[in-house]
Amino acid sequence: MNLTQEDWISQLVEDENSVILDVRTEDEYNDGIIPNAINIDIHKGQGFISELETLDKNKNYYVYCRSGARSAKACEIMNELGFENAYNLIGGILEWNGDIVSP
């Protein structure tokens, strides 16, 4: 599901069962992240899917990338794998107005 930054944040703040997932490359991740994000690079192909399979499907995932395109694809893949709640940040970290921290 695609969410605007405002909806993504307001839902995330209220969600005690949330995980923030950054699907950018390791280099992009190291340049700065949304606080508490974990990184699984969507470009790893099968490696990406293998790492997703280790995650708890009962949690709610707030997914972002640089602009929102890779994270939209990641959410589709997650839905196919049985994750019910994967939320894509429209506009990605490029349009993010909140804090950005070092990993």
pLDDT at 25: 98
- 100 within some domain: no
pLDDT digits (tens, 9 = 90+) for 73-99: 999 999 999 999 999 999 999 999 999
Instruction: Tell me the whole-structure pTM to 2 decimals.
Output: 0.97
Q: Is 65 a catalytic residue?
A: yes
Query: How far is the C-alpha of 78 from the C-alpha of 97, rounded, in Å?
Result: 26
Query: How far is the C-alpha of 10 from the C-alpha of 8, rounded, in Å?
Result: 6
pLDDT at 81: 98
Give me the chain's average pLDDT, please. Answer: 97
- 61 within some domain: yes
Which residue of the set 19, 65, 75, 93 is catalytic? 65
Domain containing residue 21: 2-95
Give every CB contact of residue 84 below 8 A, 6+ residues apart in sequence.
57
What does the pLDDT average to over 13-31? 98
- 101 within some domain: no
CATH of the domain at 66: 3.40.250.10
- 102 within some domain: no
Please give the tally of structural domains in the chain. Answer: 1
- 6 within some domain: yes
